[in-house]
Amino acid sequence: MANQNIEEIDLRKIVRIVLEHWWWFVIGVVLFVGLGLLRYFRTAATWTTDASVVLRLQEMTGNKLDPMAFLGITSKAETDDEVAVMSSRGLMAQSLDALDLWETSFVKSGLQWREEYRTHAFSIEPVELKKKAKLAPFEVTIRPKRSGYRVKVKMGLWHRSSTRVKTLDEPIETAVGTIRIHPNRPLSTDTVYRAQRVIRELKVAEYRHRLNVTMLKKDSKIIKMTLSSSLPERDKALLYKLIELYNMNAIVDKNMIASNTATFINERMTAIESELLDAEQTVANYKRDNNLSDVETQARLLLEAGSAEQNAIAEVQTQLSLVDYIDGFLRDEAKRDNLIPSNIGITDAGLETSMSEYNAILLQRMRIQRTATEANPVLEQMDMQLASMRQNIIATVGSVRASLKIQLENLQARDEQFNKRIKGAPEQEREYVRVVRDQKIKEQLYLFLYEKREENALMLAATSMPAKIMDAPQRDVESRHPKIRNILVMSIFFGLAIPAGLLYLLVLFNNKIDDVKEYERRLKAPVLGQLVENSRNAHIAIHEGESTVSAELFRLIRTNLRYMLPQEVKTPVILVTSCINGEGKSYVSSNTALSLAILGKKVVLVGLDIRKPMLTTYFNLKTKGHLTDYLAEQEVTIDDIIVPSGEHRNLDLIPCGAIPPNPAELLQTKRLDELFEELRKRYEYIIVDTAPLALVSDTYQLDRVSDMTIFVSRYKYTPAEMIDYINQIIDQKRMHNIAGVLNAVKGTRAGYGYGYGGQQ
């Protein structure tokens, strides 16, 4: 329950602080709403243009198998690489070149600078720029006048110039150097124009910053591209161009394998074509020289009988030829970074798969290399993988060659039976069969390569785009920024949050007593009451027959005081003190004494704040008093030190007098005890204005003669830790019968509902 009460009190305190400073929040909201509206009308509206494409990675690699799976690289990694390629510097620079988007031009329209697209008002030609201007962006503003032009140039914060020229035909000297301005259309005198010159690297970086390329979802091959600016038409054209150039580059990469294969096939066909012509010419010459006719039929029958073995031998020899070429290609250091010719008819599935996987990784490396440096760890890892795969392919080629040679030997052994039959034929027939067989082998190899060349040409001519547009670039009509609703919401939020933050800091660093309830809760003594702030700055706040708020509150303290005093004490001595100077103890003691006097009680007010007496000032007394003289000299009597207050007949004063050098010693004398014994006989109440306890120990000396001590604290003046100091005095019982009064409370915070109550 205690924690619950504390939380309720804290919430009430927060509400109170907010209500007290409500005008902070009004000013904050008005200020930030004004700033928000100013930003809204000064900022050109921006829109988001987006597009979605589907990646067909298998077509990009030319292999239906996943070429990266055996390395543990998933399709997500491939898609991530393509995302990096689509947002690369090289691709963005190509697109900006294709659309000529290197210059930026603006026209002043009301409070806004409206960006232009394709219709630039003027262009900037650098004639002789300063060294710094060659490496930094700058802007040129032109304000046409009736008799010329005002040309302003700005580069950064410090390089600025303003020049008035009659014509734009001549070079202009500016803060960035000499420039020439070329108007692209007539410039209106009631319009201001601006153009920005940005170096290519910064322009590419600017567009890449605005471009966002992401996967639609995890492990997806759908990529979403977005651009945001005030020109949706330009963003739409740029997205189209990025996709177009991405597809072109990907097709070029894919066709590199086909191009290498075509080169290899053409080289081999040229050599075999020559050999085939020689073989055909040999057959023709042999027939002409030997005048053969019937032997041809017999030879054909013999060739058909051994065609199976001959075809197999021709096929194996073809495979050996291809394997030898691949082996030579792989061992050629000059071709280390080239793609291996594939789809050339190698029948060994393992070797063909290994070459396809090698080419896929090499293509992937080429694509990543466009956007990364050679020191990139991904490239270094791929180089190691490629080197390892290259050695494995060379070893595989050796195994395939050995296997083909064994097959060839077996086929040649079976072919011996056919050769024996040929030996039984006449000499002319046998020789004719040999030359025809050579011709058939060359012809079969030539036809095989011709077929492969046509297949490769078809693949090379294929124009399937690797990135298929799923959603064409289009402006998102809901993406307008800034939105007036969001501006107002954010302005109101900051208009409330900033004052709240300032109030929080104010409360955080404020160590003063600023909460009446908290003061009453923390103080381990009864609270006699509160006193409102003395707006009239009058020392005497209560007069007979007067009903002001201050008078009523002092009457309330007077009533509560009677319940706090011991019943057996007929003439109580009440000490009024505080912790530090300025809390109003003299004000409280004076008006409390006057309140008792008005009630008809005989009261004396004793000024024992010897170090800083204030009673003579409060009551406008001409004499400073003789109390210190009484304490120091036996000749001075009590009647010599008592003076009328001048405010009421029932109130007398004993002013302090001259400030002695030894105030602490004076308060320890027997004369002080004798004084209070005599005063108890003459008066009904004795009010003592004493020194602050936290500064000097004088008041502690007076506890021996007092019946009650009133601690005065001041609202928003007394440090909150002084409450702990008073509680420490109570706990240590250094003074007895303590009560509290909170002075100078704001009028709205004070009230009458504070009774005498018990200790908390």
Do 353 and 496 fall into the same domain?
Answer: no
Highest mean pLDDT among 244-253, 442-451, 463-472, 605-614: 605-614
Q: What is the pLDDT of residue 283?
A: 67
| pLDDT greater than 70 at residue 418 | no
Percent of the chain with pLDDT over 70: 80
Average pLDDT over residues 312-322: 78
Do 498 and 552 fall into the same domain?
Answer: no
Partner residues linked to 714 by β-bridges:
743
Between 578 and 754, residue with greater pLDDT: 578
Average pLDDT over residues 644-656: 92
CB burial string 55-91: b at 16+ within 10 A, e below: bebebbbbbeebbbeeeebebeebbebbbbbbbbeeb
Identify the CA nearest to 168 among candidates 108, 124, 137, 120.
124
320 and 267 Cβ atoms separated by less than 8 Å: no
Percent of the chain with pLDDT over 90: 32
Sort 343 into a burial class: Cβ within 10 Å, 0-12 / 13-18 / 19+. Answer: middle
Rg (CA), the chain: 53
What is the chain's mean pLDDT, rounded?
81
Q: How many domains does the chain have?
A: 4
Cα–Cα dist 413/378, whole Å: 52
Average pLDDT over residues 358-385: 75
Do 580 and 457 fall into the same domain?
Answer: no
* pTM of the model as a whole: 0.57
Average pLDDT over residues 26-43: 92
712 and 743 Cβ atoms separated by less than 8 Å: yes
Q: What is the pLDDT of residue 469?
A: 86
Single-letter code of the amino acid located at 112: Q
Left (φ > 0), alpha (ψ -120 to 50) or beta: where does 394 sit?
Answer: alpha
Average pLDDT over residues 158-176: 90
Question: What are the tens digits of pLDDT across the range 574-617?
Answer: 999 999 998 999 999 999 999 999 999 999 999 998 888 888 88
Do 432 and 405 fall into the same domain?
Answer: yes
The domain containing residue 411 runs over which residues? 266-464
| pLDDT greater than 90 at residue 750 | no
Do 13 and 144 fall into the same domain?
Answer: no
Between 536 and 692, residue with greater pLDDT: 692
Angle in degrees, 0-180, between the axes of helices 232-290 and 427-461, rounded to the nearest 10? 170
What's the Cα-to-Cα distance from 446 to each of 329, 362, 442, 453, rounded to whole Å?
Answer: 21, 31, 6, 10
Cα–Cα dist 163/149, whole Å: 8
Do 525 and 608 fall into the same domain?
Answer: yes
HSE at residue 474, side-chain half, CA atoms within 13 A, is 9
Strands of 651-654's sheet, edge to edge?
527-532, 738-745, 708-714, 573-578, 685-690, 603-608, 651-654, 643-644
Question: What are the tens digits of pLDDT across the range 509-542?
Answer: 888 888 888 899 999 999 999 998 876 678 888 8
Do 565 and 659 fall into the same domain?
Answer: yes
Q: What is the pLDDT of residue 74?
A: 42
| Residue 253 in domain | no
| Residue 408 in domain | yes
Reported as a pLDDT band with limits 50, 70 and 90, residue 462 is: low
Q: What is the 3-state secondary structure (H, E, C) of 414-433?
A: HHHHHHHHHHCCCHHHHHHH
Which H or E run contains 549?
helix 549-564
| Residue 587 in domain | yes
**DSSP label at residue 564:** H
Sort 355 into a burial class: Cβ within 10 Å, 0-12 / 13-18 / 19+. Answer: buried
Highest mean pLDDT among 213-217, 413-417, 568-572, 695-699: 568-572
Angle in degrees, 0-180, between the axes of helices 232-290 and 349-369, rounded to the nearest 10? 140
Do 413 and 527 fall into the same domain?
Answer: no
Do 727 and 581 fall into the same domain?
Answer: yes
Q: What is the pLDDT of residue 3?
A: 44
Q: What is the pLDDT of residue 755?
A: 38
Reported as a pLDDT band with limits 50, 70 and 90, residue 757 is: very low
Residues 229, 232, 234: CA angle, nearest 5 degrees: 95
Single-letter code of the amino acid located at 587: Y
Cα–Cα dist 566/351, whole Å: 113
| Residue 750 in domain | no
Reported as a pLDDT band with limits 50, 70 and 90, residue 2 is: very low
Identify the CA nearest to 368 among candidates 256, 342, 377, 386.
377
Question: How far from each other are the two terminal CA atoms of the chain, in whole angstroms?
Answer: 15
Q: Can you state the percent helix, strand and coil of the chain, rounding each to 5?
A: 50, 20, 30
| Residue 621 in domain | yes
Do 503 and 564 fall into the same domain?
Answer: no
List Cβ neighbours of 1 (8 Å cut-off, separation of 6 or more): none
| Residue 667 in domain | yes
Do 424 and 538 fall into the same domain?
Answer: no
Between 72-81, 341-350, 488-497, 667-676, the lowest mean confidence (pLDDT) is in: 72-81
| Residue 214 in domain | yes
Reported as a pLDDT band with limits 50, 70 and 90, residue 276 is: low
Token pair in block for residue 47 = 């829109």
Between 122 and 425, residue with greater pLDDT: 122
**CATH number of the domain residue 683 falls in:** 3.40.50.300
Q: What is the pLDDT of residue 6?
A: 43
| pLDDT greater than 50 at residue 314 | yes
Between 14-28, 284-298, 531-545, the lowest mean confidence (pLDDT) is in: 284-298
Q: What is the pLDDT of residue 501?
A: 92
Do 298 and 355 fall into the same domain?
Answer: yes
Token pair in block for residue 596 = 């008792």
Q: What is the pLDDT of residue 384?
A: 85
| Residue 84 in domain | no
Cα–Cα dist 106/1, whole Å: 67
Reported as a pLDDT band with limits 50, 70 and 90, residue 371 is: low
